[in-house]
Copies of this chain bind each other. A is one copy, B any other.
Amino acid sequence: MTTIETLGRSSITDDIVIGDHRPARLLDNSQPITFFPAGSEIYAQGEKCGNLYQVEFGAVRVYRLLADGRRQISAFHMPGEIFGLEGFGTHQFFAEAICATGIRILRPSSSDRLELLPLALENLARSQEQLLVLGHQNAIERVAAFLLEMSERQGGMRLVELPMPRSDIADYLGLTIETVSRVFSKLKAKGVIRLPNLRSVELTKLKTLQNLAA
């Protein structure tokens, strides 16, 4: 990736930096935006951490790899959300851009330490929610919960955009892509959802879906 220095401010793209991270000074909106192409790595397990990352556009997956190659996606991050707070010395996860993604890299100063607690608690709450899903839900319940979660995080719209491929959904829900696909088909056959195209879902029977999520 190459870096483009920004000098002026005449367009919205002027503060976009393509390429590697640049140090950010404060937890505010004056930081430049770094562009990550689809599939590119934002940070890797084992790298030292300390920065935070705010999604401006696009989407991010955060995951770990097991020894045998299995992958557990622990979270997706959508525009507006902040991620990267996951340990003390080094990152415990990989973070990748799912599609073309703009990231604002934030370097919290020590005076921002108190701001981090709510963030950590939010991440914790979401992990716990995920534990509930992975612990005791079957395939239909998992997919239903996933669709409802995505809908909520996009403002409760009936038409939900899914920037990630089925394989990501599978690794997030602890299923296989075949099972995810089958559940999509079954929900579609029951009229609970519509699939206008591969990457979007219309929740036509919201209540039914909520019941399925249990």
Residues of chain A at the chain B interface (Cβ within 8 Å): 64, 66-68, 70, 72, 74, 85-88, 92-93, 113-114, 116-118, 120-121, 123-125, 127-128, 130-132, 134-136, 171, 173-174, 214
Contact = CB atoms under 8 A, between A and B. Distances in A.
Nearest to A123: B124
Contacts of A128: 64, 74, 86, 92-93, 127
Task: From A116, A125, A134, A135, name the one whose CB has the most chain B CB atoms within 10 angstroms.
Answer: A135
A135 B214 contact: no
Nearest 9 A/B pairs, CB to CB: A135-B174, A127-B127, A134-B134, A120-B120, A72-B135, A70-B136, A124-B124, A72-B132, A134-B135
A72 B136 contact: yes
Contacts of A135: 72, 134, 171, 173-174
A87 B67 CA distance: 33
B66 A214 contact: yes
Contacts of A131: 72, 74, 127, 130-131, 134
B125 A92 contact: yes
A56 to B, nearest CB: 24
22 contacts: A64-B132, A66-B136, A66-B214, A72-B132, A74-B128, A74-B131, A85-B121, A86-B121, A86-B125, A86-B128, A87-B121, A87-B125, A92-B125, A120-B124, A124-B127, A127-B128, A130-B131, A134-B135, A134-B174, A135-B173, A135-B174, A136-B174
Contacts of A120: 117, 120-121, 124
A140 to B, nearest CB: 14
A205 to B, nearest CB: 19
Given A67-B214, A72-B131, A74-B131, 10 more contacts: A64-B128, A72-B135, A86-B128, A88-B118, A92-B125, A113-B114, A114-B114, A117-B120, A124-B124, A134-B174
